[in-house]
Amino acid sequence: MSKKKILIIGAGGIGSFLIPLLRKVGLYDITAADPDKVEKKNLTYQNFDESHIFEQKVAVMSRKYGIKAHGYKILTEPQIQNYDLVVCCADNLDVRRLLYRSKVKWLDLRAQGRNCAFVTSMADPKMYDTLLAGPEGSFSCQGDSWDGGSQNVHFMQVVAAGMGAQWIQRFFAGDDVGDFKVVNV
């Protein structure tokens, strides 16, 4: 059985936990794309430690988990073609807009504060305008109210990664999978 090719866009809050989950099962040929470097502020909620500060996130993931790494932004449809599934773990709407308008199979994983969600390319396109609305820019999966301290850190990015890994496993197994799910704790 050949491995399914997966592109994971974003190796931070969600992606840094999703990559090792998928890598463990050995069923996927994983490529991750992210231009960001590990910063000290990432250490409380992303799958990195102090030795990784200033390194590119995808370089760390590649070294730790043996995946392919692209340290650049995903901006065009040709960059997301030729994969069995594209998973958005990025924290901005531009990448999501690209996926939602494309013809590829995709999974959009989101976390912000006490909420997380997934949306798939099988979801009703009538929902897309609502799901793609919001301010431009990049946002932390910790939400706007996070003060940067360990006491108030949220872990919904880990929940999103777990839901995503489960969805991917079931999707490629041919099981009936949902197209949209929201969790609030």
Instruction: Indicate if the pLDDT at residue 132 is higher than 90.
Output: no
**For residue 126, what pLDDT is reported?**
93
**Model's pTM, two decimal places?**
0.94
Which stretch of 72-81, 141-150, 156-165 has the lowest confidence by average pLDDT? Answer: 141-150
d(CA 108, CA 100): 9
> Which superfamily does 4-184 belong to?
NAD(P)-binding Rossmann-like Domain (3.40.50.720)
Do strands 115-120 and 180-184 pair parallel, antiparallel, or not at all (unpaired)?
Answer: antiparallel
More confident residue, 148 or 10: 10
Mean pLDDT of the chain: 92
Residues 20/47, Cβ–Cβ less than 8 Å: yes
Per-domain residue ranges of the chain: 4-184
Residues 11/58, Cβ–Cβ less than 8 Å: yes
Residues 80/98, Cβ–Cβ less than 8 Å: yes
d(CA 70, CA 160): 22
Instruction: Indicate if the pLDDT at residue 179 is higher than 70.
Output: yes
Provide the percentage of residues in the chain whose pLDDT is more than 70.
Answer: 95
Q: Hey, which of 73-82, 88-97, 130-139, 152-161 has the most confident mean pLDDT?
A: 73-82
Place of tokens 């992606």: 15
Mean pLDDT of the 26-42 span = 96
Summarize pLDDT for 160-170 with one digit per residue, the tens. 999 999 999 99
Residues 112/185, Cβ–Cβ less than 8 Å: no
d(CA 13, CA 9): 12
DSSP-based three-state secondary structure for 34: coil
Place of tokens 């594209």: 86
Summarize pLDDT for 83-117 with one digit per residue, the tens. 999 999 998 889 999 999 999 999 999 998 888 99
Give CA 152 to chain center in angstroms.
Answer: 22
Provide the percentage of residues in the chain whose pLDDT is more than 90.
Answer: 76
Q: Which of 28, 32, 31 is nearest to 3 (CA)?
A: 28
d(CA 90, CA 10): 5
Q: Exposed, middle or buried, 16 (CB in 10 Å: 0-12/13-18/19+)?
A: buried
Instruction: Indicate if the pLDDT at residue 139 is higher than 70.
Output: no
Q: Which residues pair with 106 in a beta bridge?
A: 86
Instruction: Indicate if the pLDDT at residue 133 is higher than 80.
Output: no
DSSP-based three-state secondary structure for 58: helix
